Amino acid sequence: MQDGSVSPIGSFFRNKWVRLILIVDILAIIGIIAIIIYNLTKNSIINFTIAPIDATITVNGNSSYHNGSYQFHPGTYEVVISHDGLNSKTFTVELQDNSNAAITTFLSGSDNFDFYRLKDNYSSYLALERIAAASDNQTTDHDTSAEEFIADFRRNYNLYSTQLPATYSEYDDNNELVKYISVNKSDKCDVTLCIKALMNSESDRTLADSLLQGKGFNLEDFEIEYKVFY
């Protein structure tokens, strides 16, 4: 090779486009390594069990979380649990290196817990059961309303299972059937405890309610569909 001449390799690396590609590749490799290191340091976990299940879970402003387990870096996190029409709850979580934390809680619309009015499917009830069955029998915020609700629900479920179907019959002086009401469990309802009352007319709602109340049902605790016989 003569003095002052450039080798093919040297000429290759002097090309500005080649150098640009090399710089981009190096930066990409550095970025990948940084991401791997960053993810490896996310060694702490928060487990969320929230009812209702469609509540919004926001961690330090990021609202992309749902029920389940997520990895975080050690540090301090503000967790806000919210849902339209319900009271929000806020927790501060301190995560140490390789630590685990759990937030198990529920939301209600008032100081008095009333899950019947906010539950929209059986999955939310199952989430509440898991909350009430925590090892210390208390939620993260030490509110025992979930346990009280579960006990009340089980009493109602036993009533629901044993007292339905039920009927009301009324006859005239000639022993002719003039009113007939049939109250059954409904299989077309999205909520957990749903009742269907079949009646002769809309005016028989009072009789249907009396039938249920006479068997021990608190009407506010159940979803009741009133339907007229056709």
What integer pLDDT is reported at residue 156 of this predicted model? Answer: 86
| Its pTM surpasses 0.85 | no
Measure the CA–CA gap between 200 and 76, rounded to whole angstroms: 62
> Kindly report the CA angle at 166 between 160 and 169, in degrees rounded to 5?
160
Measure the CA–CA gap between 206 and 193, rounded to whole angstroms: 20
Measure the CA–CA gap between 34 and 93, rounded to whole angstroms: 26
Question: How large a percentage of the chain has pLDDT more than 70?
Answer: 80
Average pLDDT for 65-89: 91
Residue 93 and residue 46 in contact, taking contact as beta carbons nearer than 8 Å: yes
Average pLDDT for 126-147: 72
Token digits for 167?
């009927």
Average pLDDT for 41-58: 88
Residue 163 and residue 217 in contact, taking contact as beta carbons nearer than 8 Å: yes
177-217 pLDDT per residue, tens: 889 999 998 877 666 788 999 999 999 999 999 999 999 99
Q: Which of 110, 103, 115 is nearest to 156 (CA)?
A: 115
Beta-strand relationship, 75-82 and 89-95: antiparallel
Name the one residue in this structure whose structure tokens are 């390594």. 33
